[in-house]
Amino acid sequence: MDNTRRLLYLDAMGIDVWVSRTDHGVEKGDVSTDIGQPETVASTIDNNLDEWQIFQEQVAACQACSLHETRTQTVFGTGNPKAGWLLIGEAPGHNEDIQGEPFVGKAGQLLTEMLRAMELNRDQVFIANILKCRPPNNRDPKPEEVSACHGFLQRQIQFIQPKIILAVGRIAAQQLLKTDVPIGKLREKVHYLDKIPVIVIYHPAYLLRSLLEKRKAWQDLQLAIKTFRTL
């Protein structure tokens, strides 16, 4: 991707692209062209995809917590099951519950733009949630729901074996890292989950409401890129 297109993507995110080099040492627009490609090649012909399909069917039939009573459908996750990048959000919302995909609607579009700014598309990452079913009225997940669904996320991580995880939003970050530290103190650091680096980023729905935080969001993505390059 040439620099002009990359800057257009950043502009689409509403981010001021004319910012000097940050303390993370990655300049805006200075994004490697190979951060997503190696893991995508031939991934769809992996023999283990039969297992992946069975896994999806198991999730779709799950009744391990009460959320199965109110869901339209489970939201397993989408993308490349052998991607180097795994994005983990909180839970499906209204649109996701209807469409059966994570991060759709305006927040999903912004997430897509954030990925494009990193020279990634949705086929080069896998996007999942802590919960596979929508909590009614988009309330926060209950501990017993997170506990009931935890095994599915663990299996996804074990199957995908991502090089890096992006924890998208406060609740995902706190659940993954098992902490109640505010997101503002979790970002700008490299955490680890079973030796996999975890970068905390703001939820795109929050960014849509908090335009001033978009600059920080880009800083977080830069940290993710920089970390990925070191792997």
> Which residues are at the interface with ligand SF4 (CB under 6 A)?
59, 62-65, 67-68, 74, 131-133, 145, 148-149
User: Which is nearer to ligand SF4, 13 or 86 (by Cβ)?
Assistant: 86
d(CA 9, CA 16): 11
Q: From the CB of 42, what's the least distance to ligand SF4, in Å?
A: 30
Which of residues 29 and 169 has its CB atom nearest to ligand SF4 in the complex? 169
Of 20 and 158, nearer to ligand SF4 (C-beta) is 158
Question: Collapsing DSSP states into helix, strand and coil, what is residue 16?
Answer: coil
- Smallest separation (angstroms) from ligand SF4 to the CB of 131: 4
Reading the block at residue 92, the tokens are 């499906």
Nearer to ligand SF4, 59 or 118 (CB): 59
Toward ligand SF4, which CB reaches closer, 24 or 68?
68
In the bound complex, what is the minimum distance in angstroms from residue 7's beta carbon to ligand SF4? 40
192: DSSP letter: E
Q: Which residues make Cβ contacts (< 8 Å) with residue 122, sequence separation at least 6?
A: 78, 79, 112, 115
Q: 25 vs 151, which CB is nearer to ligand SF4?
A: 151
| Residue 134 CB, nearest approach to ligand SF4 (Å) | 8
DSSP code per residue over 18-84 = -----TTS--TT---TTSSHHHHTTGGG-TTHHHHHHHHHHHHT--SSGGGGT-SS----EE-TT-S
Q: Which residue has the tokens 């890096």?
A: 164
Distance in Å, CB of 147 to ligand SF4, minimum: 9
Contact of 181 with 165, CB cutoff 8 Å = no
Query: If DSSP codes are grouped into helix, strand and coil, which group holds residue 210?
Result: coil
Find all residues with CB under 8 Å of 57, minimum gap 6, and list them. Answer: none
Least distance from ligand SF4 to the Cβ atom of residue 104, Å: 18
| For ligand SF4, the closer CB: 150 or 189 | 150
Yes or no: say if 117 and 76 are a contact pair by the CB < 8 Å rule: no
Smallest gap, in angstroms, from Cβ of residue 148 to ligand SF4? 4
